[in-house]
């Protein structure tokens, strides 16, 4: 390859941004490696033909954001994480890959495995929440789903993003600075990426963020030392959209030539959207500024992925005789995924499931019949016409036997127009039950959708209060892309379902849950704050020297000289979250019994068996997500009060009991010490098993 051809392989053209005709010419001369967002299968094949007729005939790789589905849309990642079911994540990714591959998409920019503790950040919707154990399991599963098996014609390359620490963006603002001590980086933010590498992820994307003073797209510590060095990552690294050129605005680079030099030497192999590599890399190599070995390594990585995808053997996609897009199999999977994502937060007086003899029902709120909104962010290719709304599903289910009154009440979620609220109030007053659908529109979460306030937008809270004042029992269904501060509105409802944005089959899945065909089994993958002033609030916090002794806010009775009640709490709000990580109710009632650890004294390198007795004492069948937490009592550096180390979905019939077994490898007890070494220290550990992160102490373990 010439230097220009190598730089071309390291360049991606974003269709519709810049000159597409120039991109065609570059493909024809072998000066282009990838195309993003080509508009159709026909266009992709036309451009691919140009590349294959170039001097070397290297095929292009076509990328597209297939985040939580392609035509069939599955729950947003945060909702899917609530299932605590990696196998489900793998199946949804496999279905998305099948739909995308048949139209010539070779590569998706998912999963996003940024751990985040800040619901103000809009991209929390794309995350799997606040915990590295859960995020690692879900992210690796999606990698396996997208990429399938070698030789699979329906596989597409996955891309773990954003490397790294992007979820720690200051004040929840998009593109903002992150400052993360290296031990925290290695223990909290890096494990999900490492899990994706171990799962065979083909590509990795840098973040927009400045990490500890060095933007991620120029960060050799991340890309060369950790990713390609310590982890021996064999795939290639792509920059995020224009993130390389943005290093000029960051203040790290002087001009485009400087950008090309810094990013190439740092380890970015493929440039997205901008063209600093194509313009400057050949000259930088000729001037001795960038070693040619840097280009050779990058191009070798890109060619390896193209080869693994089979693009050299089958560069074209043929129009499928029968499309799998929105097929019955995928719709059934979307319904299942949506069912398992919904979290029951409240069910006072066992209002749910709804009684079979129900004769009148009010369906209210701006999200009861909003097909686009239920698809969530990053669903641009989603088949909106296939989306079944809750209203449509309820009408189809109930038929003429139940009087159903529908009132949107508000023009949209963000509206301040109260003129339609009275009609909703009247409908509720005439009905036995009111189902009230509120939350966020799809475009209020996702990239560049940071929020400083986390209440229901618009005047939806007023709608809730006025409907509840009728005295008709209210079931509140909240559809959103992030945790919201919902304590006040939840207090007005008898039952609360957190429905996230659950995709194409959100309506039928919700109807299944409302009428008890399926018991809710979702658990929160992120803590819900009582107020935005608590953020960040998360379960795996440190204890401090003065841990909070009570949840009731109050003015301490002492003084700094006599510090009675001086502890790590607030004077105006409880220190605990509104709903903790791992929380979720069921129609079943689960009780935990004895927890046993075998062996109770273990050596490094061994695996511990943790057993817990679980019983369904309720009258209905259900699924419980059994969660295993560990606390390292004493370490060479302080450790969190507890950390999730395992989980398992367990189905039990009414009255059934089961001994649940989870394995705990001693390697899972490792952390980064003060010398930046990953180590497992001997000592005593507390074991907690239960239905959420407040699980009581179950047993003790000693590592010798």
Q: Decide: helix, strand or coil at residue 585.
A: strand
Q: How far apart are CA 375 and CA 503, in angstroms?
A: 4
Kindly provide the b/e burial profile for residues 366-390, where b requires at least 16 CB atoms within 10 angstroms of the residue's own CB.
bbbbbbebbbbbbbebbbeebbbbb
Q: Which of 42, 21, 35 is nearest to 306 (CA)?
A: 35
Report in angstroms the alpha-carbon separations of 662 from 8, 608, 609: 50, 8, 6
Q: Which of 224, 362, 349, 208 is nearest to 297 (CA)?
A: 224
Q: Decide: helix, strand or coil at residue 555.
A: coil
Q: What is the DSSP secondary structure assignment for residue 319, as one 8-state letter?
A: P
Q: What is the DSSP secondary structure assignment for residue 221, as one 8-state letter?
A: I
Q: Which of 99, 168, 620 is nearest to 317 (CA)?
A: 99
Q: How far apart are CA 173 and CA 168, in angstroms?
A: 10
Q: Is 517 designated active site?
A: no
Sign of CA dihedral 79, 83, 84, 87: negative
Q: What is the DSSP secondary structure assignment for residue 349, as one 8-state letter?
A: G
Q: How far apart are CA 220 and CA 230, in angstroms?
A: 12
Q: How far apart are CA 144 and CA 133, in angstroms?
A: 17
Beta bridge partners of 689: 628
Q: How far apart are CA 297 and CA 269, in angstroms?
A: 8
What helix, strand, coil percent values describe the chain, rounded to 5? 30, 20, 50
Q: What is the DSSP secondary structure assignment for residue 66, as one 8-state letter?
A: -
Q: Decide: helix, strand or coil at residue 644.
A: strand
Q: Which of 115, 119, 253 is nearest to 189 (CA)?
A: 115
Report in angstroms the alpha-carbon separations of 97 from 72, 108, 317: 11, 8, 14
Q: How far apart are CA 281 and CA 292, in angstroms?
A: 9
Give yes or no for a contact between 353 and 42, defined as CB atoms under 8 angstroms apart. Answer: no
Q: How would you class 109 by CB atoms within 10 Å of its CB: exposed for 0-12, middle for 13-18, buried for 19 or more? A: buried
Please list, in sequence order, all residues whose beta carbon lies within 8 angstroms of the beta carbon of residue 661, skipping any fewer than 6 positions away: 609, 610, 611
Q: What is the dihedral of CA 562, 564, 569, 571, to 10 degrees?
A: -90
Give yes or no for a contact between 703 and 634, defined as CB atoms under 8 angstroms apart. Answer: no
Give yes or no for a contact between 298 and 269, defined as CB atoms under 8 angstroms apart. Answer: yes
Please list, in sequence order, all residues whose beta carbon lies within 8 angstroms of the beta carbon of residue 325, skipping any fewer than 6 positions away: 70, 71, 72, 99, 102, 383
* Cis-peptide into 316, omega within 30 deg: no
Q: How far apart are CA 691 and CA 584, in angstroms?
A: 8
Choosing from 65, 114, 240, 632, the catalytic residue is 240
Report in angstroms the alpha-carbon separations of 362 from 194, 400, 428, 500, 634: 49, 14, 5, 21, 55
Q: How far apart are CA 163 and CA 642, in angstroms?
A: 26
- Could you list the active site residues? 240
């Amino acid at each position: 390859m010439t230097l220009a051809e190598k730089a071309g392989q390291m360049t991606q053209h974003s269709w519709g941004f810049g000159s597409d005709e120039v991109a065609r010419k570059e493909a024809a001369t072998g000066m282009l490696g990838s195309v993003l967002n080509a508009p159709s299968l026909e266009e992709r094949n036309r451009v691919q033909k140009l590349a294959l007729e170039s001097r070397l005939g290297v095929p292009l790789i076509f990328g597209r954001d297939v985040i939580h589905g392609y035509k069939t849309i599955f729950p947003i990642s945060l909702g899917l994480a609530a299932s605590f079911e990696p196998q489900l994540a793998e199946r949804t990714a496999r279905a998305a890959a099948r739909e995308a591959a048949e139209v010539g998409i070779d590569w998706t920019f998912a999963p996003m495995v940024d751990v985040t503790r800040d619901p103000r950040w809009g991209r929390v919707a794309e995350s799997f929440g606040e915990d590295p154990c859960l995020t690692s399991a879900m992210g690796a599963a999606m990698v396996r789903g997208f990429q399938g098996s070698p030789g699979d014609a329906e596989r597409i390359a996955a891309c773990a993003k954003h490397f790294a620490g992007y979820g720690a963006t200051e004040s929840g603002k998009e593109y903002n600075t992150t400052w993360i001590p290296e031990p925290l980086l290695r223990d909290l933010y890096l494990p999900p990426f490492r899990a994706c590498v171990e799962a065979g992820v083909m590509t990795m994307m840098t973040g927009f963020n400045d990490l500890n003073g060095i933007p991620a797209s120029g960060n050799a510590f991340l890309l060369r030392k950790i990713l390609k060095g310590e982890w021996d990552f064999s795939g290639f690294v792509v920059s995020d959209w224009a993130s390389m050129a943005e290093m000029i605005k960051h203040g790290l680079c002087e001009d485009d030539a400087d950008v090309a030099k810094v990013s190439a030497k740092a380890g970015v192999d493929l440039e997205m959207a901008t063209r600093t590599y194509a313009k400057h890399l050949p000259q930088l190599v000729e001037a001795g500024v960038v070693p040619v070995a840097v280009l050779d390594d990058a191009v070798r990585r890109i060619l390896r992925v193209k080869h693994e995808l089979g693009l050299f053997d089958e560069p074209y996609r043929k129009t499928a005789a029968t499309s799998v897009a929105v097929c019955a199999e995928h719709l059934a999977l979307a319904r299942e995924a949506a069912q398992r994502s919904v979290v029951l937060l409240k069910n006072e007086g066992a209002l749910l499931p709804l009684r079979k003899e129900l004769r009148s029902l009010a369906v209210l709120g701006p999200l009861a019949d909003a097909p686009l909104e239920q698809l969530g962010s990053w669903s641009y290719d989603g088949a909106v016409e296939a989306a079944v709304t809750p209203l449509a599903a309820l009408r189809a289910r109930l038929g003429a036997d139940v009087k159903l009154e529908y009132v949107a009440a508000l023009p949209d979620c963000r509206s301040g127009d109260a003129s339609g609220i009275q009609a909703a109030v009247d409908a509720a007053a005439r009905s036995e039950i009111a189902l009230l659908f509120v939350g966020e529109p799809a475009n209020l979460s996702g990239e560049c959708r940071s929020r400083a306030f986390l209440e229901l937008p618009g005047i939806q809270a007023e709608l809730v209060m006025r409907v509840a004042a009728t005295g008709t029992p209210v079931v509140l269904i909240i559809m959103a892309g992030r945790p919201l501060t919902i304590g006040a509105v939840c207090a007005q409802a008898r039952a609360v379902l957190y429905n996230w944005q659950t995709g194409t089959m959100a309506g039928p899945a919700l109807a299944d849950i409302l009428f008890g065909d399926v018991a809710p089994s979702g658990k929160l993958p992120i803590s819900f704050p009582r107020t935005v002033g608590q953020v960040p609030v998360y379960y795996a916090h440190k204890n401090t020297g003065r841990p909070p002794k009570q949840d009731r806010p109050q003015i301490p009775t002492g003084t700094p000289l006599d510090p009675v009640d001086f502890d790590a709490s607030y004077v105006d709000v409880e220190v605990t979250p509104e709903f903790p990580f791992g929380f979720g109710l069921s129609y079943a009632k689960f009780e935990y019994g004895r927890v046993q650890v075998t062996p109770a004294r273990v050596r490094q390198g061994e695996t511990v068996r943790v057993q817990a007795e679980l019983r369904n004492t309720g009258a209905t069948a259900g699924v419980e997500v059994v969660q295993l937490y560990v606390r390292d009592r004493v370490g060479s550096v302080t450790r969190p009060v507890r950390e999730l180390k395992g989980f398992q979905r367990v189905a039990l019939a009414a009255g059934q009991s089961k001994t649940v077994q989870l394995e705990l490898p001693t390697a899972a007890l490792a952390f980064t010490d003060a010398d930046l070494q990953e180590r497992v220290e001997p000592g005593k550990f507390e074991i907690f098993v239960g239905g959420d992160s407040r699980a009581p102490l179950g047993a003790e373990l000693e590592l010798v």
